[in-house]
Amino acid sequence: MTEQPVGAAPAPHPSEQSAWSGRFSEPVSELVQRYTASVSFDRRLASADIRGSLAHARMLARQAIISHDDLAQIERGMAAISAEIERGEFRWNLADEDVHLNIEKRLTALVGDAGKRLHTGRSRNDQVATDIRLWLREAIERIVELIRDYQRALLDLAERHAATPLPGFTHLQVAQPVTLGHHLLAYVEMAARDRERLADCRRRMNRLPLGAAALAGTSFPIDRESVARELGFDGVCENSLDAVSDRDFAIEFSAAAALVMMHISRFSEELILWMSPRFGFIELADRYCTGSSIMPQKKNPDVPELARGKTGRVYGHLMALLTLMKGQPLAYNKDNQEDKEPLFDSADTLIDTLRIFAELVPGITVRPAAMLAALGQGHATATDLADYLVKKGLPFRDAHEAVARAVRTAEAKGCALAELPLAELATYSPLIGADVFSVLTVEGSLAARNHLGGTAPEQVRAAIVRARKQL
């Protein structure tokens, strides 16, 4: 939707100033108007608002609450308003407070009394609750699709590196060899759960608040189910007070969004480390990096750093919404107007981050030699040696102890375990024979972990096939 600045209020006569000013003896101050208005940000809900209004109006006509002629006028007016918004010609007016009143006022200007009848049996409270759900539903659909794109990019890279050895770390110390493909598949799994969480949130959220009116329902003979069907909801909110007041769905979305960002932030952290010359495992394409204005040699991983940084603001929005709700008595309170900016910003941040990561991943250049060299420095196959001894009958704890002593010797000599002569290795256990060298190699270690969920290249390839099917 085209965004345009909110026009200054054209100082209308107090009695025409707002939809509710009849009750008041003086207009609100300019400061209060600005403080309480939401049109500067909630006009993003315009298309949802119009869709909701049209469904409501059609139901009113079906139920003979308004005439079919009124409905035709409303439909005509709304079509004109949509076109004005589309062209960026709609005049958003701060004095009309929010997206709902701006559109309703314009409708009335265009079609007269029919426009004034639209709000029959409805309140802005159930209207806004409906709009956010419609908007968020689409945002979730977009985000889920983008997570899929990101997963596809990870899978393509994983496929190319199904057998590329990488040091697996615990405590950021070399632990055991893994394949890069296996490592990347961990992020594919996280993203799959992220998608599930969002789908779950969408499912619970997808109920229609309209009909709750201000809080207690309405005295008009409305038909909520038909409105729900027209708007693609799976049902209606079954308690009017709950319908207008809770924003738990927004909090659920924010929590799911925070988890998406947390996962991307962990990946970012690894990309940043891996790109550091100390690791040198990868290169990021220049277009995702920037230089330094003073140090000519620098190539900084700005995109992953920003993703890591933006994770904080998405967490912040989750906290903001939880806090927003915790003290609110039933039913609607104006506090709820504060739900929108955090929601919009979280959705925007996710959409941008996912789009950029789906592009960035294919631009990663892998340096397998550096990964292998790092593996060579960490005695990464020590566990394989212990397992070897266990398979020859030694209890695991004794095997662990024997290998630990061998590692100390290798450390002292500044060599890898596999570089110790057989005679020397055999001093740590008489069970060690010439066949030991096959288990001490990285390839042997990787191939040995050949079970569901293991890092063996064969398993990685099978996992990729499964993951692709789930997309």
Where on the chain is the footprint of ligand ARG (CB under 6 A)? Answer: 38, 42, 98, 124-125, 128, 332, 334, 336-337
186 phi, psi to nearest 5 deg: -60, -40
Least distance in Å: CB of 40 to ligand ARG?
11
For residue 374, what are the CA distances in angstroms to 40, 133, 171? Answer: 53, 50, 15
Please, what is the minimum distance in Å from the beta carbon of residue 57 to ligand ARG? 19
Q: Looking at beta carbons only, is 167 or 209 nearer to ligand ARG?
A: 209
Task: For ligand ARG, give the closer residue by CB, 143 or 343.
Answer: 343
List phi, psi (to 5°) of 25: -95, -15
Minimum CB–partner distance for residue 213 and ligand ARG (Å): 11
- Shortest approach of ligand ARG to residue 362 CB, angstroms? 41
Tokens, residue 419 = 């570089």
Query: Active-site residue 219, yes or no?
Result: no
CB of 256 to ligand ARG, least distance (A): 22
Of residues 203, 155, 127, the one with CA closest to residue 362: 155
Whether the CA torsion 230, 58, 138, 254 is positive or negative: it is negative
Q: State which residue, 254 or 381, has the beta carbon closest to ligand ARG.
A: 254
> In whole angstroms, how close is the CB of 133 to ligand ARG at the nearest point?
13
Non-local CB neighbours of 322 within 8 Å, separated by 6+ positions = 251
Name the residue with tokens 């035709």.
Answer: 72
Burial of 367 (C-beta count, 10 Å sphere; 0-12/13-18/19+): middle
Among residues 15, 67, 276, 292, the one annotated as catalytic is: 292
Nearer to ligand ARG, 127 or 445 (CB): 127
User: How many Å apart are CA 59 and CA 74, to the nearest integer?
Assistant: 12
Considering the complex, state which of residue 37 and residue 157 has its C-beta at the smaller distance from ligand ARG.
Answer: 37
To the query of whether residue 171 is one of the catalytic residues in this protein, the response is yes
**Of 153, 374, 147, which Cα lies nearest the Cα of 274?**
374
Tell me which of 171, 219, 293, 451 is the catalytic residue.
171
19 and 98 Cβ atoms separated by less than 8 Å: no
Residue count of the chain, please give it: 471
279 CB-side CA count, 13 A: 19
Q: How far apart are CA 321 and CA 341, in angstroms?
A: 10
Smallest separation, CB 229 to ligand ARG (Å): 25
Q: Which is nearer to ligand ARG, 334 or 451 (CB)?
A: 334
The amino acid occupying position 44 is: R
| Cα separation, 177 vs 379, whole angstroms | 10
Which residue, 122 or 207, has its beta carbon nearer to ligand ARG? 122
3-state secondary structure of 80: helix
Distance CA 177, CA 446 (A): 6
**From residue 228, how far is each of 51, 130, 234 by CA, in Å?**
12, 10, 7
Q: Which residues are known catalytic residues?
A: 171, 292
